[in-house]
């Protein structure tokens, strides 16, 4: 079980949103590269970088991502608006250890299958979930896919893992959706990473007990709700 700090990028800044709502930005830091470096200094050995602008069609932060990849010194998984093979290739060439694919991987079965076989062990499929249904396009659209059924399908592909975000709990510091995460972990053949609502070391231990491979943390770290050094000591590697 590994704790993975999130570095969410919006308009050149590191931000944290509540509930995936762009109007509910709670954290804004001016230097995302320094933020990434600080998490590594705290003892974390993996980072999760998301381009929120690319995910929602508002632009992109490609230069910042490139700089983070060049200076982080630890494996980094990168996502947000990755919908073309060329972008996967570029991120891997620039140093991403894994690429996180969401919207197109959910909506386009043929593309998902082709990319998984073209980049075996390098893709993490993101299943963002609200009320057990997968949402896409930066959490703006709800599909008819039940997340458990979806991850069972993913088990047939050579993935690096699956990232499940409980969107309804994102940024709220109310604890994670343990029944959801447990069901997904049981249904999936690949490592499952949880995101959304993780707000204590007890949450982390509960996820570990239910078979999760790791958790991506944002608000809890940026607000100090979890002591970052204690988290890194117990779940940093």
Number of Cβ within 10 Å of residue 87's Cβ equals 17
Is 128 a known active-site residue? yes
* 8 carries an active-site annotation: yes
User: What are the residues whose beta carbons fall under 8 Å from the beta carbon of 182, sequence distance 6 or more?
Assistant: 210, 211
Q: What distance in Å separates the CA atoms of residue 219 and residue 198, rounded to the nearest whole number?
A: 8
The answer to whether 147 and 156 are in contact (CB under 8 A) is no
Residue 167 gets which letter from DSSP?
G
How many residues are listed for the chain in this entry? Answer: 237
Which is catalytic among the residues 51, 128, 177, 203?
128
**Rounded CA separation 85/172 (Å):** 34
- Alpha-carbon span 62 to 80, nearest angstrom: 11
Q: Mind giving me the DSSP string for 122-135?
A: TEEEEEEEETTEEE
Catalytic residue among 8, 53, 177, 203: 8
Torsion region of 123: left, alpha or beta (phi above 0 gives left; psi -120 to 50 gives alpha): beta
List, by residue number, the catalytic residues: 8, 128
């Amino acid at each position: 079980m590994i704790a993975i700090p999130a570095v969410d990028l919006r308009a050149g800044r590191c931000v944290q949103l509540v509930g995936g709502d762009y109007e509910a930005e709670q954290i804004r830091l001016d230097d995302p590269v320094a933020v990434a470096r600080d998490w590594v200094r705290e003892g974390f050995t993996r980072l999760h970088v998301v381009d929120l602008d690319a995910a929602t069609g508002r632009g992109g932060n490609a230069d910042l991502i490139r700089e983070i990849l060049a200076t982080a010194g630890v494996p980094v998984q990168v996502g947000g608006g990755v919908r073309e093979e060329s972008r996967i290739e570029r991120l891997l060439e620039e140093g991403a250890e894994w690429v996180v694919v969401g919207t197109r991987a959910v909506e386009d079965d043929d593309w998902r299958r082709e990319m998984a076989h073209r980049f075996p062990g390098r893709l993490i499929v993101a299943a963002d979930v609200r009320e057990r249904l997968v949402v896409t396009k930066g959490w703006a659209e709800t599909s008819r896919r039940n997340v458990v059924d979806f991850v069972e399908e993913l088990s047939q592909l050579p993935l690096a893992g699956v990232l499940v975000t409980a969107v309804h709990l994102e940024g709220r510091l109310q604890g994670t959706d343990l029944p959801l995460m447990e069901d997904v972990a049981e249904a999936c053949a690949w490592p499952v990473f949880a995101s959304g609502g993780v707000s204590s070391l007890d949450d982390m231990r509960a996820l570990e007990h239910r078979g999760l491979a790791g958790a991506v943390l944002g608000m809890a770290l940026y607000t100090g709700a979890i002591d970052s050094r204690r988290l890194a000591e117990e779940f940093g590697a």
